[in-house]
Amino acid sequence: MELENNAYFWQKIDILLLSSDIIINRKKDSTHPVYNNLVYPVDYGYLKDTMLDTKEHIAIYRGSKKSLTVEAVVVCIDILKKDMEVKLLAGCTEKEELSILEFLNQTDFQKSIIVRRGHNIPKWASTN
């Protein structure tokens, strides 16, 4: 089954991003606070006005583009923490997206995939 990439889903992400402050707590080229061999390829932070059930904020990678459009998300699975997270990629070039994916897939304990933005509205979502 192919992933249905719904424009309305991405519209909600845009609203979430535009209605929140971005806090960057790890600058590009800084090292991970626990794993010193991991270097952030772009700025990393969170959306200030959001909170998940785990008491963590929604994470965001902020690229070098001036535009803050979210063109993709990464879905990460961590078997050590027994956790799954979705992180926003905003203002990232394709090269930065690939660098983020490489950054997140360096360890055998965590693997990630990218889901790119779609612009199709499925038939079931049409109001006509």
**Which residue has tokens 């990678």?**
61
9 sits in which H/E element: helix 7-18
Task: Tell which residue, 112, 117, 108, 115, has the closest CA to residue 100.
Answer: 112
**Higher pLDDT among residues 36 and 24, named by residue:** 24
* Res. 127: pLDDT tops 80: no
Q: For the segment 30-54, what is each residue's pLDDT rounded down to a tens digit? A: 999 888 888 999 999 999 877 666 5
Rounded to the nearest integer, the mean pLDDT of the chain is 88
* Res. 125: pLDDT tops 70: no
Please calculate the CA angle 93-99-105 and round it to the nearest 5 degrees: 140
The 8-class DSSP code of residue 30 comes to: P
Q: For the segment 87-114, what is each residue's pLDDT rounded down to a tens digit? A: 999 999 999 999 999 999 998 999 999 9
* Res. 18: pLDDT tops 80: yes
- What is the Cβ-side half-sphere exposure of residue 20, based on CA atoms within 13 angstroms? 23
- What is the Cβ-side half-sphere exposure of residue 30, based on CA atoms within 13 angstroms? 12
Cα dist from 128 to 11, 86, 118, 122, 124, whole Å: 19, 32, 20, 12, 10
* Res. 72: pLDDT tops 90: yes
Distance CA 101, CA 24 (A): 19
* Res. 2: pLDDT tops 70: no
Burial 101-118 (b: 16+ CB within 10 A, else e): bebbeeeeebebebeebe
pLDDT computed for residue 1 by the predictor: 40
